[in-house]
Amino acid sequence: MPLFLHTADWQIGRQYSQFAPDDAVPIAEARIDAVSTLARLAAEQRVDAVLVAGDVFDAQTVADRTIRRLFNAMAGFAGPWILIPGNHDAALAESVWTRAQRLNAVPSHVHLSLQPQTLEFEAAGFAVLTAPLTQRHTYNDLTERFDRAETPAGLLRIGMAHGAVQGILAADIDSANPIAPERAERARLDYLALGDWHGCKQIDARTWYSGTPETDRFRANDPGFALRVQIDGPGALPEVTSLAVGRYRWSQAVHTLAVASDADALIARLATLDEADVVQIALDGQTDLQSLARIQAAASQAEARARSLAVDFGALRLLPTDADIQALNADGYLGDVIATLRDRQAGPEPQLATQALALLAALLADRRAAGAAPVSVGATA
């Protein structure tokens, strides 16, 4: 009754330049931590092997230290790890894999399949047919050889590949490497472990993408898991269970403000964020200055709790109420400036007018809080 842990798309060494450095570094570090978690889960589950279906590294140029750290993170599981290259870390003549071997960084229980082959684990009752990528993009189906590959009778036939199942996944995904959707059936596979799609996805009863174990982009496609795969014997359907691995929750949303309750809902959402959240929120619609101040205060507090929070106010139109302007003590000239900026929000540069209006409101609010005299006609700024 062999038992496997299926994972892929670790993307070790990935950089996150879209974030500030104090956010980017922990987010990148979480990818190596995910491998340590996988090792712990593999040991706890007592699996017979961990199947890593490509894109172990994000690039061929990762540092030697990163290579060593990756293999050190795998130390928590002493059983077989079976790794194939993907499109990001293809097994070129000179690659991240050849460097790892020169560094003597690869432990003896880690099996690197850098060429198509069949690995037999007779004592454990299974054989693994691999289709590693030896270049970044291929346009023929490397899993076709599985149909003809022979394995000893009585052993499970497990396939491993990295690419796009044709007719199933979106046309704009990361890899051009095609895989026939009926490959498991045609090749008499008991299970086909795939990588390249970064979310957990079932293709058929025997074919699965595990997805990346640590979320790495704003796409709601079920990342952050590994798959526990149990197969009772040759021909039996696999029993597949997803296991949570990832640390960070990525989410992206557009929040439209129209009435006061919309601001309340946004503030309530911000209040739920914690250290596991990586969030981008774009605001549009319109709001008054009092509501804007409440949202800005809530965002500032949430930013200190979340791993990363970015709130884009650029498309939000400010419509100060009479009460807002009265509260700012802005009459005369500055009152006219506020009115002009309100009008210009409907012009060719609405974001510039909105930013100016928000800045002026903040300055006037600070002036009022400091106890300065009201600004009126004839006053200088």
> In this predicted structure, what is the pLDDT of residue 381?
34
Q: In terms of domains, do 72 and 210 share one?
A: yes
The answer to whether residue 374 sits within a structural domain is: no
DSSP 69-131: HHHHHGGG--S-EEEE--SSS---SSSHHHHHHHTT-S-TTEEE--SS-EEEEGGGTEEEEEE
Q: In terms of domains, do 38 and 180 share one?
A: yes
Q: In terms of domains, do 82 and 204 share one?
A: yes
Q: In terms of domains, do 298 and 189 share one?
A: no
The answer to whether residue 380 sits within a structural domain is: no
The answer to whether residue 375 sits within a structural domain is: no
**Tokens standing for residue 246:** 């990832």
Q: In terms of domains, do 98 and 145 share one?
A: yes
pTM for this prediction:
0.86
Going by C-beta distance under 8 Å and a sequence separation of 6 or more, which residues neighbour residue 270? 295, 298, 299, 301, 302, 309
pLDDT in tens, 82-129: 999 999 999 999 999 999 999 999 999 999 999 999 999 999 999 999
> In this predicted structure, what is the pLDDT of residue 168?
79
pLDDT in tens, 247-296: 999 999 999 999 989 999 999 999 999 999 999 999 999 998 889 989 99
* pLDDT score of 132 more than 90: yes
Q: In terms of domains, do 185 and 327 share one?
A: no
- Mean per-residue pLDDT for 27-41? 98
Boundaries of domain holding 195: 3-244
pLDDT in tens, 162-221: 999 988 776 555 457 999 999 999 999 999 999 999 999 999 999 999 999 999 999 888
Domain total for the chain? 2
Domain end among 202, 218, 244: 244
**Tokens standing for residue 361:** 């409101």
Least confident of 266-270, 339-343, 365-369: 365-369
Q: In terms of domains, do 343 and 360 share one?
A: yes
- Band of residue 379 on the pLDDT scale cut at 50, 70, 90: very low
- Band of residue 328 on the pLDDT scale cut at 50, 70, 90: low
Q: In terms of domains, do 173 and 284 share one?
A: no
pLDDT in tens, 45-88: 999 999 999 999 999 999 999 999 999 999 999 999 999 999 99
CATH of the domain at 222: 3.60.21.10
> In this predicted structure, what is the pLDDT of residue 89?
97
The answer to whether residue 377 sits within a structural domain is: no
> In this predicted structure, what is the pLDDT of residue 175?
53
The answer to whether residue 378 sits within a structural domain is: no
Q: Are 208 and 201 in contact, with CB atoms under 8 Å apart?
A: yes
> In this predicted structure, what is the pLDDT of residue 370?
62
> In this predicted structure, what is the pLDDT of residue 320?
76
Question: Is 291 exposed, middle or buried, given 0-12, 13-18 or 19+ CB atoms closer than 10 A?
Answer: buried
> In this predicted structure, what is the pLDDT of residue 371?
58
Q: In terms of domains, do 171 and 234 share one?
A: yes
Q: How many residues does the chain have?
A: 381
- Mean per-residue pLDDT for 320-325? 72
The answer to whether residue 376 sits within a structural domain is: no
Q: In terms of domains, do 195 and 306 share one?
A: no
* pLDDT score of 377 more than 50: no
**Tokens standing for residue 162:** 């990295």
> In this predicted structure, what is the pLDDT of residue 171?
54
Beta strand 308-318 with 239-244 is unpaired
- Mean per-residue pLDDT for 341-345? 77
Domain end among 208, 225, 244: 244
The answer to whether residue 39 sits within a structural domain is: yes
Domain end among 195, 219, 244: 244
The answer to whether residue 16 sits within a structural domain is: yes
- Mean per-residue pLDDT for 242-250? 97
Q: In terms of domains, do 139 and 283 share one?
A: no
Q: Is 25 helix (H, G, I), strand (E, B) or coil?
A: helix
Q: Are 282 and 259 in contact, with CB atoms under 8 Å apart?
A: no
Q: In terms of domains, do 267 and 236 share one?
A: no
